[in-house]
Amino acid sequence: GFRLGLESIGGRCVFANEIDPYAASIYRRNFEFDFAAASTSDEKKKKCPPLLEADILDVCAQNDIPSDTDILTAGFPCQPFSTRGEQRGLNDEK
């Protein structure tokens, strides 16, 4: 959601992270890009780099996130807030 919102106003994704393997597979299906098949460097710049599948607590801001990043967004896990879940909200262990 955050990525689509930012892209709709001209933003560009430079880093993506997900800990859950299933969620990561969905993200890859929707957003990963074959850089070798891109016809222009401009086309390559518009696409997000590969997803880093790891716990965000293990991510090193100095090494993993580009230094020229202007905005860093993050969100709660959806399950505690979804109408499909138990709706524990902030009381959920996630």
Asked about 78 being catalytic, the answer comes back as yes
Distance CA 80, CA 68 (A): 33
Catalytic residue among 13, 48, 60, 78: 78
Distance CA(52)–CA(3), nearest Å, equals 15
User: Alpha-carbon distance 6 to 9, whole Å?
Assistant: 5
Q: And the tokens for 65?
A: 């996130």
Helix (H) / strand (E) element for 63: namely: helix 61-64
**Active-site positions?**
78
